[in-house]
Structure 1
Amino acid sequence: MSKLTFNNSNPVFYTSLKAAVNKYFAEINKRKTGNIHLYAKAVILILSTVSLYAVLLFAPLALLPRILASLVLGFALACIGFNVMHDANHGSYSSRKWVNHLMGLTLNALGGNNFIWKQKHNIIHHTYTNIEGIDDDIAKSPYIRMCSPQRWVPAHRLQHLYTPVLYALSSMIWILYQDFEKYFKKKIVKTPLARMSAADHAIFWTSKVLYVVFYMVLPIWLTGWQAWLVFFLCMHVALGLTLSIVFQLAHVVEETEFESSTGDEQQIENEWAIHQVRTTANFAPGNPVISWFAGGLNYQIEHHLFPRISHVHYPAISKLVQAECAAYGLPYHSLPSFKAAVVSHFRFIRMLGREPILS
């Protein structure tokens, strides 16, 4: 693990905020995990994806309906990731550990690996958010320059134009290459991968083989390779774009801050919770449609501060977080709409693509 630490000797902000949130849950007498609304949403999303998959395999679809169905399937798979997998792998989907583990394996059904993802996301990203050299979510250099400490290359002048293409390819790259790279290198950026048990290895290889069977072999066998290629590419374009855009809007926008790891003993000036607030942004708060599909990830500040609280509670506790930020003179980055967040992201990417002026 990184030698970088936070100034947590007197975490007054987080102590005060946690007390306010705990008081809220005590007053309403509800669990911090998911509820009937989340479970109903999980059923709707999973049944929808299974139905779409069956239609694509067994229905005699023309080209345009096949493209549209494949795009919708990719979007639906991303929504399962946001709503079911994400909460489950954070332990907030259910109060029962076995339920979280089972629903967390929906990531493997999408083609990923929950063991690697939990270390990459839960531990590294949620601890060292927006810290260059540690946080894998911004480690896209030299292809995309996502913060000023990263090295600039001439191709970055056009990155605001080609970044959407890379986002569209990102889920294929993740599933077919990056998981294997991390598995064999036993490293996530500079952080060693935790030791995998025999069961973890078995799940990794079994789920990867099943991915090839269900997303490649069966569709080619039942529909032919041309129809499969349309299905596979369109599905991943929608999946990759949806995942990338939603996650990048949370941290790579004009409003958020970044740090750089020197690789030596280093302490961040602020306590961990203040670092999370400064490096994270919400978007489209109060928009029930976006909140439903994005699994509350438009409330990223609340998620980063309380990852073990289910996203169904984020709109309510956001008022508490905003009040505490105001009381401690901290920023509360919140973009008013999805469009505003997308514009901020790509404007920031374009700015980073300009050649740095050396002093």
Structure 2
Amino acid sequence: MSLPKFAPPRNFYAELRARTNQYFEDAGKASTGGYRIFSKALLLTSAFVLLYVHLVFFTPATALALLECVLLGGVISAIGFNVMHDGAHGSFSSNKWLNHFAAFTLNILGGSSYMWNAKHNVVHHMYTNIEGADDDIDIRPWMRMSVGQPRHKLHRFQHLYFWFLYCMLYISWIFVMDYQKYFTKKIGAMPLKKMDTTDHLIFWGFKVLNLFLYIALPIYTVGFLGWLAGFAVTTCFAGLVLSLVFQLAHTVEHTAFPVPHETTGKMEDEWAIHQIKTTANFATNNRLISWLVGGLNFQVEHHLFPKISHVHYPAISKIIKQMCGEYGVEYIEYPKMRSAVASHVSFLRQMGRAA
């Protein structure tokens, strides 16, 4: 496909970067995560190992085991948000290998860091909410996420059944979507960068390891039914949390879904303005949510500065808000998570019923 082209950058992003750089210079801080993200990574990965070992080798009574499975699903999501995500963007540490190691946690958790980099870092961050380019809004035929997608009768109820589909995200991701990308060599309609021999070996090596860790070994230790119940609870909770956090960032009532010009393929706005119009924040004053989701409730800040660690988003959000006010750009923010969820449900209802 012909990729959209953004309008030439103007003063907005240059001034925003200058003010943000000045903030780090004045504060004497690095833009990476520092001790705060290292301690968080240690805590979360330790929790994952302890929960996994306890469930697989020292399986407690059913009620406690299922509760631990919910916690394990939450920890998997939190590692993805806090460790893998920063590592994949190069903001976890100033050390390149530490960033690779942090990003590699996705391979341990069942996914593919190679596919994630292509899908998220390259495609989604460049072409946010652009139909035909951003694979994150392509859940067809099950859901309609933009007016450019065909509407089916089923979509009239998508604001009701989306909870089930979101629960299926993690399972679909590790057992279907990674393989689709691998064999079709595409991210949606866009070609996947050619993989070298090491990339192929890593992809298949970790997929085999995951089958052993999350299916074969647990079935051997706790039995098929015990494994099935635990695996379903863990992956469904992880899928729901992952889906909600990422969907609340872009598919709500006030975010835009810009369309390139029919003949030129050009976008109306420059890239930075496009990111602000297509992105929303939520619950930014809730420190617990911010900690758990790795600052991804500050999604505007993340999209404008993906190489800055999430631990700095509360500080630079003030700079971005001020800039948006000066340039007359709407800064989309929901004060509570529940209001963002309500807006997402309303958005899905509109997409399911509007022509």
Q: Check conservation: 1:132, 1:261, Cα contact below 8 A.
A: no
- Secondary structure of 2:5's counterpart equals strand
Deviation, structure 1 residue 307: 0.1
Q: Check conservation: 1:70, 1:235, Cα contact below 8 A.
A: yes
Aligned to 1:19: 18
CA distance in 2, matches of 1:2, 1:122: 19
Pick closer, same or farther for the CA change 1:301–1:112 going to 2, 3 Å. same
Gaps of 5+ in 2: none
- Secondary structure of 2:25's counterpart equals helix
Q: Does 1:6 align with 2:6?
A: yes
CA distance in 2, matches of 1:279, 1:318: 16
Aligned to 2:85: 86
CA distance in 1, matches of 2:59, 2:294: 33
- Secondary structure of 2:122's counterpart equals helix
CA distance in 2, matches of 1:263, 1:330: 25
CA RMSD, 1 decimal: 1.2
Matched letter for residue 192 of structure 1: P
- Secondary structure of 1:196's counterpart equals coil
Question: Which runs of 4 or more aligned residues in structure 1 lie more than 3 Å from their structure 2 counterparts after TM superposition?
Answer: 260-265
Aligned to 1:159: 158
**TM-score calculated relative to the size of structure 2:** 0.98
Q: Percent identity?
A: 48
Aligned to 1:238: 237
Deviation, structure 1 residue 262: 7.4
CA distance in 1, matches of 2:20, 2:261: 35
Deviation, structure 1 residue 261: 5.3
Q: Check conservation: 1:128, 1:134, Cα contact below 8 A.
A: yes
- Secondary structure of 1:259's counterpart equals coil
Aligned to 1:190: 189
Deviation, structure 1 residue 260: 3.6
Aligned residue runs from structure 1 range 252-271, under 5 A: 252-260=251-259, 265-271=264-270
Aligned to 1:343: 342
Deviation, structure 1 residue 306: 0.1
CA distance in 2, matches of 1:77, 1:112: 11
Deviation, structure 1 residue 264: 6.1
Pick closer, same or farther for the CA change 1:299–1:184 going to 2, 3 Å. same
Deviation, structure 1 residue 147: 1.4
CA distance in 2, matches of 1:95, 1:151: 44
Deviation, structure 1 residue 60: 3.5
Q: Check conservation: 2:3, 2:133, Cα contact below 8 A.
A: no
Q: Judge which range, 138-147 or 322-331, deviates more.
A: 138-147
Deviation, structure 1 residue 149: 1.5
Aligned to 2:119: 120
CA distance in 2, matches of 1:109, 1:55: 18
- Secondary structure of 1:109's counterpart equals helix
Aligned to 1:222: 221
1:259-311: CA deviation from partner (whole Å, max 9, x where unpaired)? 24578640101100000000000000121100000000000000000000000
Pick closer, same or farther for the CA change 1:184–1:335 going to 2, 3 Å. same
CA distance in 1, matches of 2:263, 2:310: 36
Aligned to 1:137: 136
Aligned to 1:32: 31
Count of equivalent residues: 355
1:174-214: CA deviation from partner (whole Å, max 9, x where unpaired)? 11011000000000111100011111111100110010000
Aligned to 1:332: 331
CA distance in 1, matches of 2:262, 2:311: 38
CA distance in 2, matches of 1:4, 1:336: 32
Matched letter for residue 7 of structure 1: A
- Secondary structure of 2:151's counterpart equals coil
Deviation, structure 1 residue 62: 2.3
Q: Check conservation: 2:261, 2:267, Cα contact below 8 A.
A: no
CA distance in 1, matches of 2:310, 2:354: 39
CA distance in 1, matches of 2:299, 2:59: 41
CA distance in 2, matches of 1:120, 1:264: 26
**TM-score calculated relative to the size of structure 1:** 0.97
1:8-44: CA deviation from partner (whole Å, max 9, x where unpaired)? 2x42110110010000011011110111111111111
- Secondary structure of 1:5's counterpart equals coil
Pick closer, same or farther for the CA change 1:257–1:62 going to 2, 3 Å. same
Gaps of 5+ in 1: none
Aligned to 1:175: 174
CA distance in 1, matches of 2:39, 2:303: 24
Aligned to 1:105: 104
